[in-house]
Amino acid sequence: MTTIGFIGAGEVGSQLARAFIAQGYEVVMANSRGPETLRALVAELGPAARAATAAGAAEAGDFVIIAAPLRLVDDLPVAELAGKIVLDTNNYMPYRDGHFAVVDSGEKTVHELRQEQLPHSKVAKAFSHIQAPRLFLSASPPGTPGRHALSVSSDHPEAVELVTRLYDELGFDTVDNSPLRESWRSGPGQPAWYAHAHQTREQLTANLARARWAGYPFRG
Ligand SMILES: NC(=O)c1ccc[n+]([C@@H]2O[C@H](COP(=O)([O-])OP(=O)(O)OC[C@H]3O[C@@H](n4cnc5c(N)ncnc54)[C@H](OP(=O)(O)O)[C@@H]3O)[C@@H](O)[C@H]2O)c1
């Protein structure tokens, strides 16, 4: 049995947990307020789910999904995440997150910053350009004509390999948009982002290539 630790149990964390439980995974859910605030969600998710602190979820996970915005001063459980593959669903939304000067200037991507925050983990940008409800609505078996494709970015080939397998299990094709330096191509405001409702592997590949850097939108 594979256990997935979740740091972030909101819209995307809870929906990913539902999708992975349906595939036979166990999940350990964490948020910023503490496990006692996750009773209703864990009851809904059923016996394959439990709640923990963020450190507890990180420790329990064979791999971990961070489904929470990035903060520059962070409280992530760095030690418990060491040595693990960490999937990060985060999108930078300045109106919500504040402004990160190094990201606004194009010097770094938010996922490079996440990798810097977790120097002993293998970070992958994943599940970041699909709306939570579409994790079920857009899924289809391997080989389905026009199958919906998602991108992954990482500096670690084994993280890309894991995400590719997970996408396939959940019903999606993969386009590898590595390394993390290139991860802005699937970010807010880019063609791949606007086409999130449906894009095939070929369309996603073309949309990633069409990306142009003009700073992040949704500046607030
Ligand atoms: N919603 C989507 O469809 C979607 C799709 C793709 C990507 N994304 C991106 O994925 C991220 C999460 O989105 P969301 O819509 O799920 O947000 P959300 O509904 O607001 O949930 C955020 C979750 O993160 C938790 N959290 C925040 N900071 C934390 C910390 N330092 N430690 C532990 N837990 C923390 C929150 O806990 P508390 O509630 O206890 O504070 C909450 O459970 C965002 O960056 C978003 O842009 C969202």
**Atom of ligand 1 at shortest distance to CA of 133?**
3
Closest residue by Cα to residue 123 from 94, 162, 149, 150: 162
Identify the residues whose C-beta falls under 6 Å from ligand 1.
7-13, 30-33, 54, 67-69, 75, 89-91, 93, 128, 131-132
- Cis bond upstream, residue 188 (ω within 30): no
Beta bridge partners of 66: 7, 88
Q: Out of 59, 89, 113, give the residue to mutate to test ligand 1, the one with the largest number of ligand atoms within 8 Å of its CB.
A: 89
Ligand 1 centre and the CA of 37: distance in Å? 15
d(CA 206, CA 62): 33
Q: Is the pTM of this model over 0.95?
A: yes
Ligand 1 centre and the CA of 10: distance in Å? 5
Nearest CA to ligand 1 atom 37: 31
Ligand 1 centre and the CA of 145: distance in Å? 32
Closest residue by Cα to residue 36 from 21, 20, 22, 56: 56
Note down pLDDT in tens along the chain; length 220 residues. 999 999 999 999 999 999 999 999 999 999 999 999 999 999 999 999 999 999 999 999 999 999 999 987 778 999 999 999 999 999 999 989 998 999 989 999 999 999 999 999 999 999 999 999 999 999 999 999 999 999 999 999 999 999 999 999 999 999 999 999 999 999 999 999 999 889 999 999 999 999 998 877 776 5
